[in-house]
Amino acid sequence: MRHLMSPLDFTIDELYDLMKLADDIQKNRSKYAKACEGRTLATCFYEPSTRTRLSFEAAMLNLGGNVLGFASADSSSAAKGESVSDTIRVISGYADICAIRHPKEGAPLVATSHSGIPVINAGDGGHQHPTQTLTDLYTIRSLRGEIGQLTIGICGDLKFGRTVHSLINALVRYPDIRFVLISPPELVVPSYIRDDVLKARGIPFTEVKSLEDVMPELDILYMTRVQRERFFNEEDYIRMKDFYILDKAKMELAKENMLVLHPLPRVNEISVEVDDDPRAAYFTQAHNGVFIRMALILTLLKEAGSL
Ligand code: NCD
201 in active site = no
131 in active site = no
DSSP state, 226? -
For CATH 3.40.50.1370, list the domain ranges present in the chain.
7-128+286-303, 130-285
| Per-residue confidence band for 69, with pLDDT thresholds at 50, 70 and 90 | very high
Helix (H, G, I), strand (E, B) or coil at 254: coil
Enumerate residues 6+ apart whose C-beta is below 8 A from 215: 153, 221, 250, 253, 254
131: CA distance to ligand 1 center in Å?
Answer: 11
- What pLDDT was estimated at residue 75? 84
Ligand 1 neighbours, Cβ below 6 Å, are: 51-52, 123, 129, 132, 162-163, 225, 263-264
299 in active site = no
Of ligand 1's listed atoms, the one at least distance from the Cα of 225 is 12
Residue closest by Cα to atom 1 of ligand 1: 263
| Per-residue confidence band for 76, with pLDDT thresholds at 50, 70 and 90 | confident
Higher pLDDT, 75 or 62: 62
71: CA distance to ligand 1 center in Å?
Answer: 15
Pick from 134, 135, 158, 163 the residue to mutate for probing ligand 1's pocket: most ligand atoms within 8 Å of its CB: 163
List the catalytic residue out of 3, 39, 40, 51.
Answer: 51
114 in active site = no
Distances (CA, A) of 179 to 140, 183, 194: 15, 13, 11
| Per-residue confidence band for 250, with pLDDT thresholds at 50, 70 and 90 | very high
183: CA distance to ligand 1 center in Å?
Answer: 17
Q: Tell me the CATH number for domain 130-285.
A: 3.40.50.1370
Kindly provide the b/e burial profile for residues 226-238, where b requires at least 16 CB atoms within 10 angstroms of the residue's own CB: bbeeebeeeeebe
Segment 51-67 shows an average pLDDT of 98
| Per-residue confidence band for 58, with pLDDT thresholds at 50, 70 and 90 | very high
List the catalytic residue out of 3, 39, 53, 129.
Answer: 129
Q: How much of the chain exceeds pLDDT 90, in percent?
A: 97
Task: Transcribe 48-74 into DSSP letters.
Answer: --SHHHHHHHHHHHHTT-EEEEESSGG
Q: Tell me the CATH number for domain 7-128+286-303.
A: 3.40.50.1370
Averaged pLDDT score across all residues of the chain: 97
Residue closest by Cα to atom 7 of ligand 1: 52
38: CA distance to ligand 1 center in Å?
Answer: 30
The sign of the CA dihedral 232, 233, 236, 241 is positive
Segment 128-145 shows an average pLDDT of 98
52 in active site = yes
Q: For the sheet with 150-155, list strands across it.
A: 205-208, 177-182, 150-155, 220-223, 259-261
- What pLDDT was estimated at residue 219? 98
Check pLDDT > 90 for residue 78: no
205-222 pLDDT, tens digit per residue, is: 999 999 999 999 999 999
- What pLDDT was estimated at residue 74? 87
163: CA distance to ligand 1 center in Å?
Answer: 7
